[in-house]
């Protein structure tokens, strides 16, 4: 008699990790006086790497749907972290720009992110971290490719 193969729990574990990690991240953020949520933090992180990008490019970098991104940008603009600006070369294109208020928050946000990274990788070797992150990138690539082919 063949023994049934155990079902993989990867998706379930990733969802649990995300939930617990997000709760801890929100708590740490509040302790540092940060007033944005983790999803908004992903938007800001993308802008810290490259400021003044169009919404389409920001959607790709954050993996957020354009409608979700637009509502989050509305809130970030309302609280003073981003502003919309028409492109000087193409008036149809709206660029998302950082503000002075955001630049003050960036340092605090990076501190919390670094604290979370230390917590994630507690008792991991450098080679284990590298392999794990490589595997996560492969999973993301698989999912992104599948989603792209759905359209």
pLDDT tens digit sequence for 65-110: 888 999 999 999 999 999 999 888 888 889 999 998 888 888 898 8
- Structural domain count, the chain: 2
Residues forming a β-bridge with 84: 96
d(CA 88, CA 86): 6
d(CA 151, CA 77): 31
Same domain, 55 and 127: no
Same domain, 146 and 101: no
Q: What is the pLDDT of residue 150?
A: 87
Residues forming a β-bridge with 86: 94
- Residues 101, 34: contact at Cβ < 8 Å? no
Asked whether residue 6 is assigned to any structural domain, the reply reads no
Asked whether residue 98 is assigned to any structural domain, the reply reads yes
- Residues 17, 32: contact at Cβ < 8 Å? no
Residues forming a β-bridge with 98: 82
Same domain, 34 and 45: yes
Asked whether residue 25 is assigned to any structural domain, the reply reads yes
Same domain, 37 and 87: yes
Same domain, 42 and 95: yes
- Containing 98, the helix (H) or strand (E) segment is strand 94-98
- Residues 81, 105: contact at Cβ < 8 Å? yes
pLDDT over 90 (residue 115)? yes
Asked whether residue 150 is assigned to any structural domain, the reply reads yes
Same domain, 111 and 136: no
Q: How confident is the model at residue 3 (pLDDT cuts 50, 70, 90)?
A: low
φ/ψ bin of 147: left (φ > 0), alpha (ψ from -120 to 50), beta (otherwise): alpha
Q: What is the SS3 assignment for 63?
A: coil
Domain carrying residue 149? 121-151
Same domain, 128 and 90: no
Q: How confident is the model at residue 58 (pLDDT cuts 50, 70, 90)?
A: very high
Specify the CATH number for the domain of residue 99: 1.10.10.10
Same domain, 135 and 78: no
Share of the chain above pLDDT 70, in %: 96
Same domain, 46 and 59: yes
Same domain, 105 and 130: no
**pTM tops 0.75:** no
d(CA 129, CA 119): 12
Q: What is the pLDDT of residue 90?
A: 86
pLDDT over 60 (residue 1)? no
Return the biggest CA–CA distance within the chain: 71
Q: How confident is the model at residue 5 (pLDDT cuts 50, 70, 90)?
A: low
φ/ψ bin of 52: left (φ > 0), alpha (ψ from -120 to 50), beta (otherwise): left
Q: What is the pLDDT of residue 4?
A: 54
Tens digit of each residue's pLDDT (9 = 90 or more) over 19-53 = 999 999 999 999 998 888 888 888 999 999 999 99
């Amino acid at each position: 008699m063949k023994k049934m193969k155990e079902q993989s729990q990867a998706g379930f574990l990733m969802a649990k990790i995300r939930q617990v990690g997000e709760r801890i991240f929100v708590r740490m953020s509040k302790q540092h006086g940060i007033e944005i949520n983790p999803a908004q933090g992903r938007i800001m992180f993308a802008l810290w790497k490259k400021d003044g990008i169009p919404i389409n490019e920001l959607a790709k970098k954050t993996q957020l749907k354009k409608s979700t991104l637009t509502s989050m940008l509305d809130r970030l603009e309302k609280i003073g972290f981003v502003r919309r600006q028409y492109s000087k070369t193409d008036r149809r294109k709206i660029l998302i720009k950082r503000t002075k208020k955001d630049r003050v928050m960036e340092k605090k946000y990076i501190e919390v992110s670094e604290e979370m990274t230390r917590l994630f990788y507690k008792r991991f070797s450098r080679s284990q971290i590298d392999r794990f992150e490589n595997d996560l990138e492969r999973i993301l690539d698989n999912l992104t490719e599948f989603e792209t082919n759905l359209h």
